[in-house]
Amino acid sequence: MLYYAMVIRRDRKVDVRSMVVLLRPESDGPAMRDPLRWTNSAGVCLEFRFEVVRIWELSAERIFNGGLGVLPLAFVADVKKEDVPTLFRRANERINNEATPGEARDLLGGIEYMLDLRFSKEFIMSLWDNDEVLRKMPSYDRGKADGVAIGEEIGEARGEARGEVRGKVEEARAILLRLARKKFGEPDALSLAAVNAVASAQELEDLVDRLMIVSSWGELLKK
């Protein structure tokens, strides 16, 4: 953040307001409460201050009424579990009315990812009671396709289970690549191969969390 703040100030001649957005309490800690300070051997100190937005402290209704692009964040905001089904129905209505098909797919994928940060898989699946909504989910197509293919070999039940796991892995990989490309640009062949080699959804989600503290593909994928 410090690097980008300095570059923007140098190139655009404007003040920069740096902000960290935390999606869940587990990502909070002492490092998010104090400014960053560096002191060199000559005793010169550099201090970098930033704001912290804790999404779970914000009203879900306030986020819901904001721009369409931030709509998925409402599901990790201050909302009770029993109110989530109503929030989901309202979100789907808004997406149907305001978003293009491509935007709708991305937004529903974002909602699924945010829900996965807080709730069980069973609860999440209970929300997809509408076949039309379910078919729009990015993970649904991949998961179902994988499940059918494996089911032909070792049985329908086991195939569906594997399809669900693979669908989650591919969804996490797609989110990681999309966000990393926005921050670092296109990956080189080795970096792309390294991302594609990750077979665990949890590892991919951990890499998404690391995006906030690294500044290159190399740093992101460094073991």
DSSP assignments along 74-91, one per residue? GGGSB--GGGHHHHHHHH
Whether pLDDT at 71 is above 70:
yes
Same domain, 120 and 24: no
Token pair 């400014």 is found at 35
Same domain, 106 and 179: yes
Residues 6+ apart with CB under 8 A from 157: 151
Could you tell me how many helices (H) and strands (E) the chain has, helices first?
A: 11, 4
DSSP element (H, E) containing 8: helix 2-12
Q: Which domain holds residue 17?
A: 2-55
Same domain, 70 and 48: no
Same domain, 165 and 120: yes
Q: 111-149 as b/e, with b when 16 or more CB fall inside 10 Å?
A: bbbbbbebbeeeebeebbeeeebeebbbbbebbbebbee
Same domain, 92 and 48: no
Same domain, 158 and 215: yes
Whether pLDDT at 165 is above 70:
no
> Where does the pLDDT of residue 205 fall: very low under 50, low under 70, confident under 90, or very high at 90 and above?
confident
Same domain, 44 and 65: no
Q: What is the pLDDT of residue 46?
A: 81
The Cα–Cα gap between 210 and 205 comes to 9
Whether pLDDT at 158 is above 50:
no
Q: State whether residue 187 is helix, strand or coil.
A: coil
The Cα–Cα gap between 220 and 206 comes to 10
pLDDT, tens digit, for every residue of 77-122?
A: 999 999 999 999 999 899 989 988 888 888 988 998 899 888 888 8
Positive/negative CA dihedral, 198, 179, 124, 150: negative
Whether pLDDT at 202 is above 50:
yes
Whether pLDDT at 39 is above 50:
yes
Same domain, 41 and 78: no
Q: How many domains does the chain have?
A: 2
Same domain, 12 and 107: no
Same domain, 94 and 154: yes
Same domain, 83 and 110: yes
Q: State whether residue 52 is helix, strand or coil.
A: strand
Same domain, 27 and 108: no
